[in-house]
Chains A and B, each alone.
Chain A
Amino acid sequence: MTRSLLTGNAAAAWGARLAEVDYVPAFPITPQTEIIETLAQWFDSRAAQGRLVTLESEHSMVTAAAAAAATGVRVFTATSSQGLMYAMEMIYTVAGWRVPFVLANVSRALASPITLEPDHTDILAARDSGFLQIHCATCQEVLDSVLIAYRLAEHERVRLPVIVNLDGFYLSFTREPVEIPEAETVRRFLPAFDADGVEFRASRPISQAVAVLGGSAYSYFRYEVHLASLQALPVYEEIAVAFEKEFGRSHPAVEAYRCEDAEIVFFMIGAFATKAKDAVDRLRESGWKIGLVRPRLLRPYPTEALQRLLIGRHAAVVVDQNLSMGKGGVLYSELASVLYGKAGAPVLLGFVGGLGGRDLSPEEFYEMAKLARDAAREGVAPEPRLLYTSGEMREIGKLQAIALSERREIGDRT
């Protein structure tokens, strides 16, 4: 075991390398590209024994990934944002093929306006696809999650592809100390992929991904994917125990940080949850009973764990780095759905923040905590809102004034 400073992208590549992936269909996109470049270099130098092929689009890339998995090799691929959207037809399609492979998505906000910086709207667009989703907050977690993801995807009770999600820039390009486990230890935890006969062989022809006629057969197969996804919850817990035993690191489906006596909890996914942890530490120094609940597994949704962790709290502050237009934050709606009607459910406060890489300041966490305390006291949550300061609004006003002034200037000349 060695300890190195790795970016989130390098940690994802290390995860794939240690999983001894056979095949990496690839397509470059910021901020993911470093993952496939790293793997390409290792394959070229024979540091790892895999093959990387650059496809002409993410749509083709996901097709090739799933087709290779359907032929019995271990497959890794990666994308981001617009790439995930371009692949979306196949993301939904191949989940139904029941082929296990792992896709690292480096979250980045979606157009329009086109931007490079992160939020979670891209990955949440894949929410209903049938891919399982693991969300990471640190570089170590990225590496570990890739290994866990393979064991989960390939499990006989699951057999579904898994997305390991890491935030663009804040995680993809941030170096953190990461323990790189020994190949032998990883092999003990993650044996070679056994396709169990679901593969193309001359002597055993099979049809995969065939059509159905009628809603009855369709419903059957779709519900099978749903049930397999639900099965992934207890299977994940088993794998997390095995992982901790082998590597000494705990990655539960839901992380509860300083929640023991917490009356108020923040509820977040991804790298910005570490900002919430920092706020929790500082607020606790001031005497607050506050914690953080962070689902790592978003599909399947860890309903019971969340109910167990949230019921009995006074208030929960959901910070959504995504926006479902015309509805609001996705995490807020989902959490509300599992707490609705439960005795002792906390007051839920919804905030949308961190869109397109917009930072979350400590002061904003303190303010959200205060609002949560007031809401708990009154038993009424304020309307969901966007985290946005008057200073930012002033800056936008200035940009608009410049744009208007320039347009007039040019208009006057023409």
Chain B
Amino acid sequence: MANRINIKKGLQIPLLGTAEEVIRGTVKSEFVHICPEDFHGITPKLAVRVNDVVKAGTALFYEKNHPDMLFASPVSGVVTAIERGEKRRILRIVIKADSNMQYEEQHVKNVAALSGEEVKKSILDAGIWFLIKQRPYDVVALPDKQPRDIFVTGFDTAPLAPSTDFLLQDKEADLQAGLDALAKLTTGKVYLSIGSTTRLKGLREAKNVVITEFNGPHPAGNVGVQINHIKPVNRGEVVWTLNAPDVAIIGRLFNKGITDLTRTVALTGSEVKQTGYYHMAIGSELKSIFAQNVTEGISLRYISGNPLTGRKIEADGVLRAYDKQVTVIPEGDDIHEAFGWASLSPKRYSAGGTYLPFKKKFRLDARLMGGPRAIIVSNEYDKVFPMDIFPEQLIKSIIAFNIDKMEQLGIYEVAPEDFALCEFVDTSKLELQRIVRKGLDLLRKEME
């Protein structure tokens, strides 16, 4: 029987627009865009040029300091453009997709027969190493460092998040193969966390892993929270983190011998007329699923990811590398609400008690709902931060960039996503995730 951990702190934001558990089809995108900025912590070096022909699995670029870490093209086709920004930073690589997908032969076999080094090399060569992230710093894992343990989260508690059970339907064999592969990558353990609502056998009865069941509101599904409760990261230690759908992509590599970066993605949000799930490769253009399927006449915000940690995209944007969810909510910049501070409106949602509690789901827009202030209210972050860490004090030490204090207060254990709920409830409207991201990047520069 799995260990069970109850998470009390946290918040399930009652949003409208959960995806209906129906597969609506497959998105065939004419162009696929890969944005290297999605892969945080790497410096991309191009491996292709414009007009090069690529297959699914061909390396588009590699990481400057680890030339063996390749980043695969999700589709076969022709590289049509490489857009660069300031200082020649690569913004996106655009590939015109073939109608018939060609896969690069990856020459991999049964996981059970491979050694740890062979598994690692296979994943690197296949161009999907980026699916493995590491703590500290929440960046793409460095392959030359031994992880103490590997943590896999098997459920997603974020607002409107897709059901991991649904995403992994029929992929249980891939999931298990992926978990077996991970087990070869560490001398420690592979920890798989499942939610109290997890029903999928492939998760609940996974082999070769230590299963822990978590019960509680968001962010119980965040791997950072799980690590903190299972076995916290200490200074000098490295752990690797993944989520279950990504593990299945790794497993697919070993089961089928190809790089297949197709995901099942949930289309969610209050402004989507028909929610549901779609199959698509990462980098696919999303305009076809938005067309005629979103509220008209108001300004909208399109998000690749969930409303807390996702990335803002345009109406013609693409699915970003790590996301399993696309969300559309009102932008709200066309709303002029009078005397908001005195409002008793049932449209307003607050986690605290300063508004009347309404038992219903809300249609929230992207407004800040206030101006930025100094941190005034106390105990606000703590209530939604179920880790043995003082979030407010850690944030302050990051703002001051006091390295000793940051280390003492647990900076190595956190990722920006762990502060997403704090940012949501923050009365002072501070950009906490940006603060943490910047702090982690600066710290990494100092330490490495």
Instruction: Tell me whether A and B are bound partners.
Output: no
